[in-house]
Amino acid sequence: MASNRAPQVIVTADTEEFARLAAERLLARATQVTGRVAICLTGGASPEGLYRLLAGEPYRSRVPWDRVHWFMGDDRFVPEDNALSNMGMARRLFLDRAAVPASHVHPVTAGAGRPDAAARSYEAELKAFYGRHRLDPARPLFDLVLMGLGDDGHTASLFPKAPALDETQRWVVGVAQAGLAPFVPRVTLTLPALGSTREMLFLVTGADKRAILARVFSGEDLPANRARSNGELVWLVERATT
Ligand code: 6PG
């Protein structure tokens, strides 16, 4: 299912260029098809510059907001108005500032029950959106999946040595115990669901990520290195991180 193509690495001069290139890639994916577009966002600090850019010109006028659906690759199991919520952050930075139809934002709902119940309901939502219960490599779930890199090599909420890394059936799982701060339960897409995309774009900024990025690029068995894409796999990194 997964593509074995070597990842493409793009190094940007600074954070401004980093956010601009990320926005251009997102725009290219959003405009390459004429129908519905599915974009899976990521949390953390690395995408913040991108999200801010999307809320302003020229991107605000160029994104086909009426055709794009926004999902989240992982979220903390907290209400959206909690400062730790990834979807809450994306809403504050751009989704609430652009002409996004309310039904096009697909948050993980942390309202009731436990993370695993929220994971099952998010999986059902993804399957209803996709229109099938099995992923077909010829028809990716997403047009673009954004990914982050944690200090321990985690991506989404897939932490080193977590059983969720080996999941082959479920599209979304609950994570009772986070491997890194903030230590709140999480809900995360699994590798097969994240990999069902035309493009997977890792966003890594900051000098504090230099050591873990070197470990990833050396091929160490870390969650971020387990991620595969049906389509392109691109690492966008800042020069300060290399
Ligand atoms: C989360 C994130 C997580 C994040 C990485 C990188 O909810 O914690 O989705 O996977 O992407 O930890 O975070 P930074 O961009 O802040 O370094």
pLDDT for residue 2: 47
What is the rounded distance in angstroms from the CA atom of residue 207 to the CA atom of residue 154?
17
Spacing, Cα 156 to ligand 1 middle (Å): 7
Ligand 1 shell residues, CB under 6 Å: 42-46, 74, 76, 86, 148-150, 154-157
Q: Which three-class secondary structure state does DSSP give residue 186?
A: strand
Measured at the CA of 47, the angle between CA 194 and CA 144, to 5 degrees, comes to 35
Instruction: Note the pLDDT of residue 179.
Output: 87
Intervals of the chain under pLDDT 50: 1-2
| Six token digits for residue 177 | 């115990």
Closest atom of ligand 1 relative to the 157 alpha carbon: 10
For residue 5, the model assigns a pLDDT of: 65
pTM over 0.95: yes
Which H/E stretch holds residue 95?
none
Instruction: Look at residue 83 in the predicted model and tell me its pLDDT.
Output: 95
Predicted local confidence at residue 113, as pLDDT: 80
Long-range contacts of the stretch 216-222 (C-beta < 8 A, 24+): 216/149, 216/153, 217/9, 220/153, 222/152, 222/153, 222/154, 222/160
Using the atom order of ligand 1, give the atom closest to the CA of residue 155: 10
Which atom of ligand 1 sits closest to the CA of residue 156? 10
Ligand 1 atom 7: residue of nearest CA: 43
